[in-house]
C-alpha cells in the first residue's frame, strides 16, 4: 500500500467527522459507512495483540467517533432488548472459544474486540439510527446511489481490466487471474474481490427494482427509477459474477411473486436454504459427489471442478470442527503443518469460517443475528399493502439480507452495510408489532390495538 492509501485509511475516522459536521446524523452515518465501503483501500496494518486496522476497523471507528462527538444523546438513549441476544453472543463467542482452546483470556478479548468492530458497531448503529420506516427507505436509497456511483467505475474496469485500486493505492487487493472471466474482465474497484462488487451491484439493482415496481421511490437525483434499474441490471451482467446474477434473479422473482400474491411464504422458504444446507453438510446428508453432479448441469466444467474442490475442503474442515462442536477451534486458528496449509485453501465461505472458529454457538448466533430481523420484519408486515407505502423499502432490505446469507454459503464478503440493515430491521419490526404507528416514521403513537393498513402509508 502506498502513502496515499495509508494516509486515507488512518485519517478516515477524522475525515468522518466532517460528514457529521456538514450533514444530519443519519445521512452522515450513511456517508461514512457507504462511502467507506466503496472507496477505502483494502490494505491494513497489523497491531500486536489487537485486531488489524483495516477498512472495516476504520469505518467502525469513524461511526463511533462521530456518534460520541456529535450525537452522544442518541447513544445514551439506546436500550438493549431481547432480540439483541444473538448479536451479543456472536460478538462474545471468541472469548469462550479461546478459553476452551487454552489460548488464554487476552487472546479471547482481542477476538471479541474484532467482532465488536466488524459486527457489533454496525449493528448498534442500525439499532440507533435506522429504527423507523423512513430511515430504512433512506438506507435502501443509499444502496441504490452507491450502485449508481459504481457503474462507471465497473464499466471502466470491465473495459480496461481491474486497475483502479492498483493505480490509486499501489497494489492489487486480490489475484488478477481470478478476475479474467469469459473472455473479459470482472471489476474489483475498491472492494476485496470481484464477487463482492458483483453482490453489491446486485443488491443495488434489486433495491432499484423494488423501488420501481413497488413505487416507494420514483427517482434519484431527477433520474427515473426504471431507467436506473436498467443501467444497474446491465452492469451486473457485465460484472460476470454468476452467483450474484443468480441471486439477483431469484430475488426479483421472489419479490414479484410475493407482491402479486400479497404473501410472504416465499421469504420463509428462502430463509430455509441456509440452515438446510448447513445441516446437510454437517451431517453428511448432502454428499460432495451429488452436489458436484448437480452443479455440472448449470455451469461449465472449470467452475464445477473449482466448486467440487471447495466441497472436498469443506468435508475436511467440518470433520475437524466436529471434534469441538460447541465453541469451535478458536478465532486465532493456526495452521502449522503441511496438512493444515492444504486445508487452508477451503477457507472461503462465511458459514464454514464461523463454524470452524466458533463452533455451532457462533454459527447459529450469526445466522440469527442477520436472518431473524429480516424474517420478523416481513412476517410482521405481511398483511399490509406494499405498493406506494414505506413498507417495501424494509422488505427489500430483508430480502437482500436473506440472499446475502445464501451467498455466504460459498463466499465470505463482509460488508457493514448489511449488518447495519439488520440492526435497523431488528428495531423496526419489534416496534411495529405492538401499538398503532404514525404514518411515516413508525414511532409509537399510543398503546392501541392492532395496526391498520393506512398506518404504514407515506
pLDDT in tens, 401-410: 999 999 998 8
Determine the length of the chain. 458
pLDDT of res. 432: 47
Report d(CA 269, CA 263) in Å as an integer: 12
| 115, part of any domain | yes
Task: Taking residues 244-270, report their average pLDDT.
Answer: 88
Report d(CA 95, CA 155) in Å as an integer: 44
pLDDT(212) > 60: yes
Report d(CA 397, CA 298) in Å as an integer: 28
Report d(CA 121, CA 430) in Å as an integer: 20
pLDDT of res. 416: 94
Summarised one tens digit per residue, pLDDT across range 160-183 is 888 899 899 988 887 777 777 777
| 305, part of any domain | no
Give 458 or 318, the one with higher predicted confidence.
Answer: 318
Domain that holds residue 52: 3-275+352-456
Report d(CA 184, CA 161) in Å as an integer: 8
pLDDT of res. 437: 36
pLDDT of res. 388: 61
DSSP 8-state code for residue 389: B
What is the DSSP annotation of 340-377?
Answer: HHHHGGGTT-HHHHHHHHHHHHHHHHHHHHHHHHHHHH
pLDDT(348) > 80: no
pLDDT(217) > 80: yes
Summarised one tens digit per residue, pLDDT across range 47-78 is 877 888 999 999 999 999 999 898 888 888 88
Summarised one tens digit per residue, pLDDT across range 6-41 is 999 999 999 999 999 998 888 999 999 999 999 999
Give the range among 61-65, 76-80, 203-207, 265-269 with minimum mean pLDDT.
Answer: 76-80
Query: How much of the chain exceeds pLDDT 70, in percent?
Result: 82
Give the range among 35-44, 171-180, 216-225, 286-295 with minimum mean pLDDT.
Answer: 286-295
Task: Taking residues 305-324, report their average pLDDT.
Answer: 76
Give the range among 30-34, 49-53, 135-139, 282-286 with minimum mean pLDDT.
Answer: 282-286
| 317, part of any domain | no
Count of structural domains within the chain: 1
Task: Taking residues 235-245, report their average pLDDT.
Answer: 91
| 298, part of any domain | no
Grade residue 305 by pLDDT with cuts at 50, 70 and 90. Answer: low
Task: Taking residues 338-345, report their average pLDDT.
Answer: 42
Do 409 and 402 meet the contact criterion of CB atoms below 8 Å apart? Answer: no
| 326, part of any domain | no
| 144, part of any domain | yes
| 338, part of any domain | no
Q: pTM, whole model, 2 decimals?
A: 0.87
Query: How much of the chain exceeds pLDDT 90, in percent?
Result: 44
pLDDT of res. 107: 86
pLDDT(341) > 90: no
Going through 80-191 in order, the beta strands assigned E by DSSP cover: 180-181, 184-185
Report d(CA 309, CA 345) in Å as an integer: 9
Quote the mean pLDDT of the chain. Answer: 82
Report d(CA 347, CA 343) in Å as an integer: 8
DSSP 8-state code for residue 220: E
Taking CA atoms, 207 is separated from 194, 399, 423, in Å, by: 20, 9, 18
Sign of CA dihedral 248, 250, 255, 260: positive
| 141, part of any domain | yes
pLDDT of res. 410: 85
pLDDT of res. 263: 76
pLDDT of res. 33: 95
pLDDT of res. 319: 81
Amino acid at each position: 500500500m502506498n502513502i496515499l492509501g495509508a494516509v486515507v485509511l488512518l485519517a478516515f475516522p477524522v475525515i468522518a467527522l466532517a460528514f457529521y459536521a456538514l450533514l444530519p446524523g443519519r445521512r452522515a452515518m450513511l456517508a461514512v459507512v457507504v462511502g467507506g465501503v466503496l472507496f477505502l483501500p483494502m490494505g491494513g496494518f497489523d497491531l500486536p495483540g489487537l485486531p488489524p486496522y483495516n477498512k472495516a476497523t476504520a469505518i467502525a471507528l469513524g461511526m463511533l467517533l462521530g456518534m460520541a462527538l456529535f450525537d452522544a444523546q442518541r447513544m445514551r438513549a439506546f436500550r438493549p432488548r431481547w432480540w439483541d441476544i444473538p448479536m451479543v453472543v456472536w460478538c462474545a463467542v471468541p472469548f469462550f472459544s479461546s478459553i476452551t482452546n487454552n489460548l488464554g483470556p487476552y487472546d479471547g478479548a482481542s477476538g471479541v474486540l474484532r467482532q465488536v468492530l466488524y459486527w457489533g458497531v454496525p449493528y448498534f448503529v442500525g439499532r440507533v439510527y435506522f429504527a423507523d420506516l423512513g430511515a430504512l427507505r433512506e438506507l435502501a436509497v443509499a444502496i441504490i446511489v452507491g450502485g449508481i456511483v459504481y457503474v462507471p467505475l465497473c464499466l471502466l474496469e470491465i473495459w480496461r481490466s481491474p486497475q483502479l485500486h492498483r493505480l490509486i493505492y499501489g497494489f492489487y487487493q486480490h489475484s488478477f487471474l481470478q478476475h479474467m472471466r469469459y473472455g473479459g474482465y470482472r471489476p474489483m474497484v475498491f472492494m476485496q474481490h470481484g464477487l463482492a462488487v458483483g453482490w453489491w451491484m446486485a443488491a443495488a439493482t434489486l433495491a432499484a427494482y423494488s423501488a420501481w415496481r413497488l413505487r416507494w421511490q420514483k427517482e434519484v437525483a431527477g433520474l427515473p427509477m426504471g431507467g436506473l434499474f436498467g443501467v444497474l441490471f446491465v452492469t451486473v451482467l457485465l460484472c460476470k459474477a454468476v452467483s450474484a446474477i443468480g441471486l439477483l434473479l431469484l430475488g426479483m422473482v421472489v419479490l414479484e411473486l410475493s407482491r402479486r400474491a400479497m404473501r410472504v411464504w416465499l421469504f420463509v422458504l428462502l430463509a430455509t436454504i441456509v440452515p438446510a444446507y448447513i445441516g446437510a453438510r454437517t451431517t453428511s446428508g448432502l454428499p460432495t459427489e451429488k452436489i458436484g453432479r448437480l452443479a455440472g448441469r448449470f455451469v461449465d466444467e472449470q467452475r464445477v471442478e473449482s466448486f467440487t474442490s471447495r466441497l472436498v475442503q469443506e468435508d475436511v474442515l467440518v470433520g475437524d470442527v466436529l471434534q469441538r462442536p460447541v465453541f469451535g477451534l478458536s478465532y486465532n486458528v493456526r495452521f502449522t503443518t503441511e496438512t493444515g496449509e492444504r486445508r487452508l485453501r477451503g477457507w472461503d465461505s462465511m458459514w464454514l469460517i464461523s463454524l470452524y472458529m466458533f463452533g455451532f454457538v457462533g454459527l447459529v448466533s450469526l445466522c440469527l443475528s442477520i436472518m431473524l430481523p429480516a424474517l420478523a420484519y416481513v412476517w410482521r408486515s405481511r398483511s399490509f399493502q406494499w405498493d406506494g407505502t414505506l413498507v417495501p423499502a424494509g422488505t427489500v432490505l430483508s430480502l437482500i439480507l436473506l440472499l446475502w446469507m445464501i451467498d455466504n454459503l460459498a463466499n465470505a464478503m463482509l460488508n457493514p452495510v448489511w449488518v447495519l440493515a439488520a440492526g435497523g430491521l431488528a428495531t423496526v419490526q419489534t416496534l411495529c408489532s405492538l401499538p398503532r404507528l404514525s404514518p411515516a416514521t413508525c414511532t409509537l403513537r399510543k398503546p392501541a390495538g392492532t395496526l391498520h393498513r393506512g398506518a404504514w402509508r407515506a
